[in-house]
Structure formats: structure tokens, C-alpha cells
Homo-oligomer: A and B are copies of this chain.
């Protein structure tokens, strides 16, 4: 179909009843990186986000969920590190799947319903 090329965008997140963000794609990336790299410091370096910003976001998510997502390891010279709790790992794994499913579904729905009219 003619017309300018359009991009389909989608965003999903979880809010508490006060309308505060509990979890979303940004926090998913942070939590995934902390789990994979084993430290908030390393995750911050990779994602180019400051340690305090990461810490504040994950702390807010833990408080809003009422469950711990990170376990801080006591460090020696290497400064410890962090691992994910089982729920933290589950949240990364399952939320990633939800995110992917919704992106695919959104693309498919737009293509199916508006592909004849718009250049998607």
C-alpha cells in the first residue's frame, strides 16, 4: 500500500492502585542485566544508567510488589554483587515472554486489519 512507512509501537507495564509504575520494559532490562552480570554496578555500566538510578528503581519495584527481587552478596575485595531471588528470575523470564507475545500480536493485528490501508 502507498503512503509513508509507519512503525508500530507498543508499550506494556504494571501499575499499582496508586498509578505508580511497578514493572515495565525498562525495569525488565535492568533486572535481566543484574541477573546475568551478577552485579548492579556491571548492569549499570552496560545499560549506561547510574548505580543509584538502578538501585532506586529496583527498590521501588520490590516495595510495590512487597517481595524481594535481589539478594545482595557480602563482598570482599571484589565488592560483593547481587543475584536474583527465584521470584526475580521468574519475573524476568515470564515478563520477557509476555513482552514478546504482545509485540508479535500487535504487529500481526495491525497488518491484518490496517495493512490494506496503511504502509506498515
CB-defined interface of A15-39 with B at 8 Å, one 1/0 digit per residue? 1110000100000000000000000
Answer whether residue A94 sits at the interface, using C-beta atoms and an 8 A cutoff: yes
Which residues of A, 1-54, contact B by the 8 Å Cβ criterion?
2-17, 22
Query: Taking chain A's interface residues, is the majority helix, strand, or loop, or is none over half, making it mixed?
Result: mixed
Size class of the contact patch on chain A: 35 or more
Say yes or no: A117-B102 contact (C-beta < 8 A), given A10-B11, A66-B4.
no
A10 touches B7 (CB 8 A): no
What would be 10 A-B contacts, judged by CB atoms less than 8 Å apart?
A: A4-B16, A6-B16, A9-B15, A11-B11, A14-B110, A65-B118, A87-B117, A91-B114, A97-B113, A98-B114
